[in-house]
Structure 1
């Protein structure tokens, strides 16, 4: 029978797969629903599901007209996650879309709601997601770019901050700052936000005001640290003073801002956007290494490159010419261009000598 998600109770038995935006079900048929399953269904905005008229223990399930009580926060770090990481990520993107729409209507940032959704996901990104955080661009479409970009920027920023040695409280704040850094885009005209052609100079000047709007959104939130608030304001500042909105440089830019800046650029360049094609993550890394020193903190870039090129001997990859290969040897001085062996014909290929080729994808 079909019932509203708000009427579900722990113990209900699902009789049909609940599908999301991918080919994999959000929750599979024959699952005995627990509070976390029900919470996930709500996060995905699933209105109704098919369940048995009997619970998994055989007792009769009588649909209640009352809505269920809100479940208390759960510490997902101590539990086995029910959903794959990327499904939880997609659920968070849907939540962010709702928040962004409410900000466009003038609603304030509700940090407690945001923390409830994002803190467990930030923890998973750092604790167990591994290289999955560098693959989030695969789920980004130009039409939903800003929602995906904000959530991914938060996850990437937390992950990189943790690898740089920041403690739990610090990388949580970095992640929340990354998530909210573009919240000020809600104050920018939708005509500009979703424009499918390059922005005019005047339009770009309007977009450059979004860090200030983002800062105003959060400046009175006591549970967000001052470090995070400054990071939100400064995430488009550059070490050489060419950034915005203040044009500050070097030691006047907060370290949190510099982490978000690098993660912002990485995800933007690897994602499909309205008027720019996505690029290979490893090509982007090379561009960052070759062209961006002087504008971005080299410690952040080094941490990002180290984590992304931590593939070992035997790792399977796909090259930009679509050939598949296996990593044979990685040089510390050229981490994005290892020696590889083509799987089809056994040919050894030193990528550092094949500048017309680059790694397109790493298979986990």
Structure 2
């Protein structure tokens, strides 16, 4: 009768990523750590240490150590890419500021400069390949120049939405150019009105509403740009039910580019602090937009926007039923109420830098209790 192979104990501390054994490697209670001829990963080793396992066992022999391509955790990919993009983002803010200032001073838009900014965003979105990086970016950057950052963020959101709608690059350029210039007419609205802390008079509100017509004139009549771009300036405050301005258009009378712009413009404005009101939480803004969805916005485009953003938008904070607070780092289009989150405060309110990343759609016992305002974290 052949001798049974002996089970050997191997200290977890001696395990290295890429180790391959000829037989199955077991942890506590014969839980399989690695199949025969399958490399052990750093995640396997990390999980063993988290569970307090000191030894693994196998009847096999060490076959060798292979080089494996470790998967970079989603949170690391998102945060690393976002850090790299901050400089890129700030340069775009400066470019937009220059475009708007130049028009105010010289009545000249410089279309090639506008298109250049839009092309840079389109290229960067394709290079990065993960919309969540950009959704995080427009949340984490310090926004001091309201008009420039507002139209830039709306442009980024609009281009991401356009890609979700399978727009070709030619349509993305027109869409992005229109959104980037949609508030160009605002440069002639007095700051005393734009920064008013009290309720505007009817006369002042009507003055602000003229920015749509002024924008169209600036783009089409003064600078000979595409009427499709001009219509975004003119129609981004029109509403699906005909209650918008300046012409009270409804449904498909409004250009598709402007229907996209109206959604991203509204969402971005809601989530920005103004002198006359605090910023809304991303969750509150989404809820407000959804509440008016069937009447104010194109319902088909709104569905795509919801799928892209999720109910709990990337960059927002939520409390879990464990009492821990987590940051939303990725949306889940299939389960919009169960995004991917990273724990940033434990259940005792202690801030943690290396918190667990949780894909809530795969965790039946963990769920979101409520959104959390950033002020609550301080």
Same fold, TM exceeding 0.5?
yes
CA contact (8 A) 1:156 1:175 kept: no
**3-state DSSP class of the match of 2:295?**
coil
Q: State whether structure 2 residue 110 is matched by structure 1 residue 97.
A: no
Inter-partner Cα distance in structure 1 for 2:102 and 2:179: 19
Give the alignment's Cα RMSD to 1 decimal: 3.6
**3-state DSSP class of the match of 2:296?**
coil
Inter-partner Cα distance in structure 1 for 2:341 and 2:118: 38
Inter-partner Cα distance in structure 2 for 1:222 and 1:184: 13
Q: 1:183: Cα distance to partner?
A: 0.4
2:318 maps to what in 1? Answer: 319
2:249 maps to what in 1? Answer: 248
1:169 maps to what in 2? Answer: 170
Inter-partner Cα distance in structure 2 for 1:195 and 1:335: 37
Q: State whether structure 2 residue 198 is matched by structure 1 residue 185.
A: no
Inter-partner Cα distance in structure 2 for 1:339 and 1:100: 37
**3-state DSSP class of the match of 2:294?**
coil
Inter-partner Cα distance in structure 1 for 2:228 and 2:164: 18
CA contact (8 A) 2:238 2:254 kept: yes
**3-state DSSP class of the match of 1:293?**
helix
CA displacement, residues 151-185 of structure 1 (integer Å, 9 cap, x when unaligned): 11112111101111111110111011000000000
Inter-partner Cα distance in structure 2 for 1:339 and 1:148: 27
Number of aligned residues: 271
CA contact (8 A) 1:126 1:159 kept: no
Aligned CA distance change for structure 1 residues 287 and 183 (closer, same or farther; 3 Å): same
Q: 1:288: Cα distance to partner?
A: 1.7
Inter-partner Cα distance in structure 2 for 1:126 and 1:221: 33
CA contact (8 A) 1:339 1:350 kept: no
Inter-partner Cα distance in structure 2 for 1:158 and 1:258: 13
CA contact (8 A) 1:240 1:294 kept: yes
1:65 maps to what in 2? Answer: none
CA contact (8 A) 1:138 1:271 kept: no
**3-state DSSP class of the match of 2:233?**
helix
CA contact (8 A) 1:149 1:267 kept: yes
Inter-partner Cα distance in structure 1 for 2:266 and 2:195: 19
Inter-partner Cα distance in structure 1 for 2:244 and 2:182: 15
Aligned CA distance change for structure 1 residues 165 and 340 (closer, same or farther; 3 Å): closer
1:156-305 correspondence runs (5 A): 156-220=157-221, 224-305=225-306
Q: 1:358: Cα distance to partner?
A: 2.1
Aligned CA distance change for structure 1 residues 101 and 338 (closer, same or farther; 3 Å): closer
Q: Which stretch of structure 1 is more off in the superposition, 160-169 or 115-124?
A: 115-124
Q: 1:279: Cα distance to partner?
A: 1.8
Instruction: Give the unaligned 5+ runs of structure 2.
Output: 1-80, 348-355, 357-363
Aligned CA distance change for structure 1 residues 152 and 340 (closer, same or farther; 3 Å): closer
CA displacement, residues 291-329 of structure 1 (integer Å, 9 cap, x when unaligned): 332110122221121122399xxx9973269942499xx
Q: 1:336: Cα distance to partner?
A: 3.4
Q: State whether structure 2 residue 371 is matched by structure 1 residue 358.
A: yes
Q: 1:253: Cα distance to partner?
A: 0.7
Q: 1:334: Cα distance to partner?
A: 6.7
Inter-partner Cα distance in structure 1 for 2:115 and 2:335: 39
CA displacement, residues 205-236 of structure 1 (integer Å, 9 cap, x when unaligned): 10001011111111048884332221221010
CA contact (8 A) 2:240 2:251 kept: yes
Inter-partner Cα distance in structure 2 for 1:158 and 1:197: 34
Q: Which stretch of structure 1 is more off in the superposition, 223-232 or 170-179?
A: 223-232
Inter-partner Cα distance in structure 1 for 2:122 and 2:332: 31
Aligned CA distance change for structure 1 residues 117 and 304 (closer, same or farther; 3 Å): same
CA contact (8 A) 1:283 1:359 kept: no
Inter-partner Cα distance in structure 2 for 1:88 and 1:340: 25
Q: Could you say which structure has the larger radius of gyration?
A: 2
TM-score, structure 1 normalization: 0.64
